[in-house]
Amino acid sequence: MKGNFFKALCVLAGAAAVSSCGPDAPAPYGAVPSPRQVEWQKMETNMFCHFGPNTFTSAEWGTGQEDADIFNPTGMDCRQWASIAKAAGMKGIIITAKHHDGFCLWPNPVSRHTVAQSSWKDGKGDVLKELSDACREYGLKFGVYISPWDRNDPAYGTDEYNEVFRQTLASALGDYGPVFEQWFDGACGEGPNGKVQVYDWDLYHRTVYEYQPDAVIFSDTGPGCRWIGNEAGYAGRTCWSTLDTAGFAPGQADPSRESLNCGDAGGEAWIPGEADVSIRPGWFYKDSENDKVKSLSDLLGIYYASVGRNSLLLLNVPPDKRGLIHSVDSLRLMEFRAALDKIFAADMSDGAEAEATTVRGGSGRFAASNILDDDYDSYWATDDGVTEASLVVELGGMKTFNRIMIQEYIPLGQRVAEFSVDVRDSSGNWVCAAEATTIGYKRILLTDRIASDAVRINIEKSYACPVLNGFGLYLDEIMGETEAWDEPDDSGQVKKASEPLVLDLGKTVVARGFYYTPKKHGAGGCIVSYDLEVSADGETWTGIYSDKMFENIENNPVRQEVRFRQPAEISHIRLTPVRTSAGETYGVSGFGILQ
């Protein structure tokens, strides 16, 4: 309130008198977000829906040769998706309007592989229409994923495709009302002899803005927001919203995974991170994954490692073959929401008072107490050139908490590069509770359970005077104290790429398929394509697959299950890497048969 009061006074006094109201606001530092990027960041959590032919074939990457009739949801209800998203506290839904198989979930006039060619609703169905209507009804924003890589379009790999893709964008973006985010996937799994498409990104971007001037464009290099460098839902502990993009383009030459995960300090463009992750191991619905939906504690861990590390969380909840969100997923989402509501309902800093070692111009407009109010645009700042400062929050009594939330006022850029948080112990001494690097839009620090009556934030390194606008203290009694995301997992082994995996089952069994699990987060690399052979005696081998690919394993290195066309009686199985993501090695934490 105080901030507003001062602003109102200044406005009333008129421009000539502004200087008498105290010092000017700090000048923006470095790259800053556009207003639409600030609004986008405030959404915090959105829902992703992977839906299409893969839902019916259990594939992750369709070939593009699927019959359009495969797409046949028996009871699709986008209002159900929207009501679940809304109840889960999501602010928007992004749908895979066209995945790599090229199938369009709307009657795209420039494609022959769409809902209009299927017998679903006699070729009159339109998922984008139903979902955009449902989003409007439930007060959610609507976004589209449209894959540039297309395994169906005959023009893919020629110049002509750029025009086809332009018209595809125009059709998807022009006909369904406002689109808040356009998701461009950078994946391209064409093999060594595959088609090479030179994407005309300038044309694509111009087209998006022509139809949706307010859309935030996602890709490996933005320009609106960036992939966070993994599909496990975690941003770096250091996470800058700025990125250097010169020389990079999505699907061709991406910034390193580390740059994507952590951003670049002082990077030339404001391209904040978006952490995408599926609630299931795969992106598309599979019956076989109904018992593998992430646990509540997994989801909370993801929340802290994404929203709590200056990123947006885009959580995939894939509709099933009926075209409905399965109850296993919706129940988990409701538990997730209830847990977040419980954790963040009580802010232990309510009613607290704040004081800083230094305040910009000594002015109330930039007072420390501004970090405690609910006004997003009021903040504490120091004088220009003052880049080390402390701020004490007196809690007015003993409070118990294990989550410390701090926000930087990002409309003026991201500045803080090192800070720590102390708490006062019962003898009145300050004890360090946490140390970290970046803050950004929102940082949530996880600590042990702390009982204290005061908290001190120490800004130790900042590229310009610090500008903080939010603070909170919470108690999470659900997830506990650990933040396991970056911890290495020693299970499994790293093998030489030339070494096959061989399993002697010790007896003859009927195998219906096999599985391969890389090491956690793909450590040591993973097998990308392989030959698979089986044997009934360990001597004579029969090839089942040759140079076959684990779809999307490089981005999402989780357990892969492959089902044989027909069951085989075997006693041995051999998986020989043809290509591995790391070249010389690959990791393995599981290999076996499916019965």
Q: Is 101 in the site for ligand FUL (CB under 6 A)?
A: no
- CB closer to ligand FUL out of 228 and 475: 228
516 binds ligand FUL (CB under 6 A): no
Q: Which is nearer to ligand FUL, 254 or 320 (CB)?
A: 254
Task: Identify which of residues 276 and 533 has a Cβ nearer to ligand FUL in the complex.
Answer: 276
Minimum distance, C-beta of residue 187 to ligand FUL, in the bound complex (Å): 3
Contact 83/39 with Cβ under 8 angstroms? Answer: no
Q: Report the number of secondary-structure helices (H) and strands (E) in the chain.
A: 10, 24
3-state secondary structure of 87: helix
Q: Tell the smallest beta-carbon distance from residue 135 to ligand FUL (Å).
A: 19
Please report how close the Cβ of residue 149 comes to ligand FUL at its closest, in angstroms. 8
Nearest distance, CB of residue 506 and ligand FUL, angstroms: 37
Q: Which CB, 161 or 283, lies closer to ligand FUL?
A: 283
Least separation in angstroms between residue 553's CB and ligand FUL is: 10
Q: Do residues 463 and 30 lie in contact, with contact meaning Cβ atoms separated by under 8 Å? A: yes
- 274, 314 in Cβ contact below 8 A? yes
Crossing angle of helices 159-174 and 201-211, rounded to 10°: 20
User: Which residue among 378, 552, 580, 581 contacts ligand FUL (CB under 6 A)?
Assistant: 552
Distance CA 109, CA 67 (A): 18
Q: Which is nearer to ligand FUL, 168 or 462 (CB)?
A: 168
In the bound state with ligand FUL, the residue whose beta carbon lies nearer, of 261 and 378, is 261
Nearer CB in complex with ligand FUL: 95/454: 95
Give the contacts of 533 (CB within 8 A, at least 6 positions apart): 541, 542, 543, 544, 573, 574, 576
Instruction: Work out the burial of residue 321: count CB atoms within 10 Å of its CB; fewer than 13 is exposed, 13-18 middle, 19 or more buried.
Output: middle
What's the rounded Cα separation, in Å, for the pair 320 and 285? 5
Regarding 276 and contact with ligand FUL (CB under 6 A), the answer is yes
Phi, psi angles (nearest 5°) of residue 302: -65, -40
Does 55 bind ligand FUL (CB under 6 A)? Our answer is no
CA distance 313 to 44: 6
Give residue number: closest CB to ligand FUL: 187
Q: Which residue among 185, 254, 408, 422 contacts ligand FUL (CB under 6 A)?
A: 185
Q: For ligand FUL, how many residues bind (rule: CB under 6 A)? A: 8
CB-nearer residue toward ligand FUL: 60 or 130: 60
Within 10 angstroms of residue 125's Cβ, the number of other Cβ atoms is: 22
**Shortest distance (Å) from residue 60 CB to ligand FUL:** 6
Site string for ligand FUL, 148-177 (x = CB under 6 A): ------------------------------
Instruction: Identify the residue among 138, 218, 283, 514 touching ligand FUL (CB under 6 A).
Output: 283
Q: Which residues pair with 561 in a beta bridge?
A: 515
Neighbouring CB atoms inside 10 A of 424's CB total 17
Q: Name residues whose C-beta falls within 8 Å of residue 196's C-beta, 6 or more positions apart in sequence.
A: 157, 190
When asked if residue 555 is in the footprint of ligand FUL (CB under 6 A), the reply is yes
Residue 60, interface with ligand FUL (CB under 6 A)? yes
Q: Based on the shown chain and the rule CB under 6 A, indicate whether residue 187 belongs to the binding site for ligand FUL.
A: yes
Q: Where are any strands of DSSP class E within 99-224?
A: 141-146, 181-183, 216-219
Kindly tell me which of 227 and 366 has the beta carbon lying closer to ligand FUL.
Answer: 227
Phi, psi of 566 (to 5 degrees): -140, 150
The residues that touch ligand FUL, with contacts defined as CB under 6 A, are 60-61, 185, 187, 276, 283, 552, 555
